């Protein structure tokens, strides 16, 4: 049976009778059989709880506890869909996520009950996993046998929310067939074995942890180890304690791990590979040097509409080439014509960013399965038969693709398009930086100015930031173009991130240089940085007003 014909329910059922350890969390260990049996019991309970004729959807508002993968497996067996609910959402926004996805059952724990206080959730049955009532409710279903026939490859499995930074989060649909195929594909890509242990420290309410970490473990019959919430300081201890061989990361998690104190035995660990996004070439090299672990940077849009695989010979800084069967192109969003290939100088500096940077589209067949009850969002994503990723890229003459940022992150300085991701990779070389974010703030006259936020390593403080040394560092980077050097540098104790460890760029852009953290800047015509004062902010604000651009400061 081919990969596309498998269901997650079948993969779960195959663990029945397998008494090897399969799930670790703190002091709790469950065998693969106990996971499958627990999932079967929950699937039977769910079938009785769901109203007849209702969409079989359940919300899961949990940290990374054993109940989360148990309910993922249960939903697969029951032919139901899981909506992972983000616990950082609050009030009406949280209620909206639950009601929008038509969840008739919400699985949560006592720690999250205060989030539900005062919310109107009509028709939603709430199960509290760490309660006596929950144990009593499950007891009659002990011994239930799995019935994977409830599910087909087309059965909805996940309703996972994409970023809500520019509006209400959209619930992307993922079927059992697509999730099973994704898991099997990663098993082949990374050679996942039955004796491997996948360490899941990224939040399971996010698609990355489920699709890139849990699914390949289920497909291969590998073990899963959970961390309730990501902890950089506990990362290596957990890896050793669980014998973890594989993990996934998103956003700045790798930078936080690298910012922890080094130990002489850092390389004494069982990890074989890490797979994720946005680590950057510099931090990936640092991670490999320090821990002896290869990080593989991949790219896949949250909705599954386009993917890029790294292969042998991929140049430094590139993500890779399109996966077989995809017809990916970098196009100008206005003309819809393919952008010319990128040209580089001897130092690797992009020379023609103004025309080479465009949006990545998939012009071929896409596995994107749409959004739940959101046709407008679907129409924005799929236009004229093309899948538009919303991500900026450029392509070299050999066909390798380079990530340049989100379309919302596009920078245009002195009529030149700049790639924020490229500038971030350069600034990440600064020895005192634990995390870097680059984004645009409006120029008082036209276009944008480059602003960077640096989170310093634990041994440094904002007061020890040396603007002269930083300026000298910039001058020594041969691939930093003259328009790439930040006009403003914000020094933060910790990089503001979302619940999925992605940089909170919307908040950074909105605050700009008018923030509570210390900011250094290069006034026009000056080569060095000096502290931005209240008087400077007043003068800049007046300059924006003089050119009719004041409203851009609050965008």
- The DSSP secondary structure of 292-312, one letter per residue, reads --EEEE-EE-TTSS-EEE--T
| Start-end of CATH 2.30.38.10 domains in the chain | 317-409
* pLDDT given for residue 3 in this prediction: 43
- Residue 501's pLDDT is 75
Q: Grade residue 503 by pLDDT with cuts at 50, 70 and 90.
A: confident
Q: For residue 555, what pLDDT band results from cuts at 50, 70 and 90?
A: low
- The yes-or-no verdict on residue 146 having pLDDT over 60 is yes
Residue 152 DSSP class: -
Report the percentage of the chain scoring pLDDT > 70. 96
Locate 487 and state its tokens: 């006009």
Task: Tell me the CATH class for 317-409.
Answer: mainly beta
| Between 168 and 350, residue with greater pLDDT | 350
pLDDT digits (tens, 9 = 90+) for 386-434: 999 988 899 999 999 988 877 777 787 876 778 788 899 899 999 899 8
Sorted by sequence, the CB contacts under 8 Å of residue 279 that are 6+ apart come out as 249, 254, 255, 287, 295, 297
Output the six-digit token pair for 205.
Answer: 């309410």
Residue with tokens 């703030």: 441
CATH 3.40.50.980 domain extents, the chain: 12-176
pLDDT in tens, 250-303: 867 898 899 899 999 999 999 999 999 877 778 888 999 999 999 988 887 778
Average pLDDT on 207-235 reads 95
- pLDDT reported for residue 321: 86
405: left (phi over 0), alpha (psi -120 to 50) or beta: left
Residue-wise pLDDT for 82-97, tens only, equals 999 999 888 898 999 9
- Between 58-67, 112-121, 190-199, 543-552, the lowest mean confidence (pLDDT) is in 543-552
CATH 3.30.300.30 occupies which residues in the chain?
Answer: 417-554
pLDDT at 166: 45
Percent of the chain past pLDDT 90, that is, above it, reads 63
> What pTM was estimated for this model as a whole?
0.81
Give the mean model confidence (pLDDT) for residues 331-351. 90
Q: How far apart are CA 97 and CA 75, in angstroms?
A: 19
> Measured on CA atoms in the order 146, 148, 151, 157, is the torsion positive or negative?
positive
What lies within 8 Å, CB to CB, of 523 at 6+ separation is 530, 536
Fold of 417-554: GMP Synthetase; Chain A, domain 3 (3.30.300)
pLDDT at 51: 93
* pLDDT of 39 above 90: yes
Q: Average of pLDDT values for 467-496?
A: 90
The helix (run of H) or strand (run of E) holding residue 544 is helix 534-546
Give residues with Cβ within 8 angstroms of 371, minimum separation 6.
170, 171, 172, 173, 303, 377, 378, 381
Average pLDDT over residues 118-144: 96
Residue 167 binned pLDDT confidence (cut-offs 50, 70, 90): low
**CATH fold for the domain made of 12-176:** Rossmann fold (3.40.50)
> Is the separation of the CB atoms in 433 and 455 below 8 Å?
yes
Exposed/middle/buried for 97, CB within 10 Å: 0-12, 13-18, 19+?
buried
How confident is residue 164, by pLDDT bands cut at 50, 70 and 90?
Answer: very low
According to the model, what pLDDT value does residue 415 have?
Answer: 64
Structure confidence at residue 460 (pLDDT): 52
pLDDT value at residue 459: 58
Residue 1 has pLDDT above 50, yes or no: no
Of 397, 434, 425, 407, give the one whose Cα is nearest residue 484.
425
pLDDT in tens, 419-475: 788 899 899 999 899 889 999 898 888 788 999 999 988 655 444 789 999 999 999
């Amino acid at each position: 049976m081919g990969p596309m014909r498998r269901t997650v329910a079948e993969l779960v059922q195959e663990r029945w009778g397998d008494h090897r350890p399969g799930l670790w969390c703190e002091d709790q260990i469950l065998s693969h059989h106990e996971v499958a049996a627990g999932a079967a019991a929950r699937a039977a309970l769910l079938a009785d709880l769901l109203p007849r004729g209702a969409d079989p959807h359940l919300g899961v508002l949990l940290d990374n506890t054993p109940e989360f993968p148990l309910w993922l497996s249960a939903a697969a067996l029951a032919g139901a869909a899981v909506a992972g609910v983000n616990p950082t959402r609050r009030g009406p926004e949280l209620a909206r996520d639950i009601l929008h996805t038509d969840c008739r059952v919400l699985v949560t724990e006592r720690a999250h009950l205060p989030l539900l206080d005062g919310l109107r959730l009509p028709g939603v049955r709430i199960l509290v996993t760490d309660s006596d009532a929950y144990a009593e409710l499950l007891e009659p279903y002990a011994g239930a046998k799995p019935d994977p026939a409830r599910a087909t490859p087309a059965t909805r499995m996940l309703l996972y929310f994409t970023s809500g930074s520019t509006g209400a989060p959209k619930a992307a649909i993922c079927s059992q067939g697509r999730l099973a195929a994704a898991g099997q594909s990663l098993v082949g890509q990374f050679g996942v074995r039955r004796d491997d242990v996948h360490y899941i420290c990224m939040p399971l309410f996010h698609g990355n942890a489920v699709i890139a970490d849990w699914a390949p473990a289920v497909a291969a019959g590998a073990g899963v180890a959970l961390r309730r919430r990501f902890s950089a300081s506990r990362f290596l201890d957990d890896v050793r304690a669980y014998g973890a061989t594989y993990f996934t990361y998103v956003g700045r998690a790798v930078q936080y791990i690298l910012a922890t104190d080094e130990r002489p035995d850092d390389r004494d660990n069982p990890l074989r590979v890490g797979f994720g996004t946005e680590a950057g070439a510099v931090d990936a090299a640092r991670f490999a040097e320090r821990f002896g672990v290869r990080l593989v940077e991949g790219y896949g849009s949250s909705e599954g509409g386009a993917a890029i695989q790294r292969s042998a010979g991929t140049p430094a800084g590139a993500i890779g080439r399109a996966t077989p069967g995809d017809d990916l192109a970098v196009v100008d969003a206005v003309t819809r014509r393919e952008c010319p290939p990128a040209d580089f100088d001897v130092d690797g500096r992009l020379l023609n960013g103004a025309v080479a940077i465009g949006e990545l589209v998939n012009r071929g067949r896409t596995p994107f399965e749409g959004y739940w009850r959101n046709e407008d969002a679907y129409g924005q994503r799929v236009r004229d038969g093309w899948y538009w990723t919303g991500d900026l890229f450029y392509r070299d003459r050999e066909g390798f693709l380079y990530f340049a940022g989100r379309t919302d992150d596009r920078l245009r300085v002195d009529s030149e398009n700049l790639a924020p991701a490229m500038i971030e990779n350069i600034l990440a070389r600064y020895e005192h930086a634990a995390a870097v974010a680059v984004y645009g703030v409006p120029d008082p006259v036209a276009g944008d100015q480059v602003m960077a936020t640096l989170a310093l390593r634990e041994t440094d403080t904002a007061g020890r930031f040396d603007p002269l040394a930083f300026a000298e560092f910039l001058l020594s980077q041969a691939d930093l173009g003259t328009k790439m050097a930040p006009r403003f540098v914000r020094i933060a104790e910790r990089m503001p991130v979302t619940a999925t460890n992605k940089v909170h760029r919307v908040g950074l852009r909105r605050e700009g240089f008018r923030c509570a953290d210390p900011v250094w800047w290069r006034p026009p015509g000056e080569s060095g940085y000096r502290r931005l004062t209240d008087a400077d902010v007043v003068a800049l604000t007046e300059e924006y007003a003089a050119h009719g651009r004041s409203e851009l400061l609050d965008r």
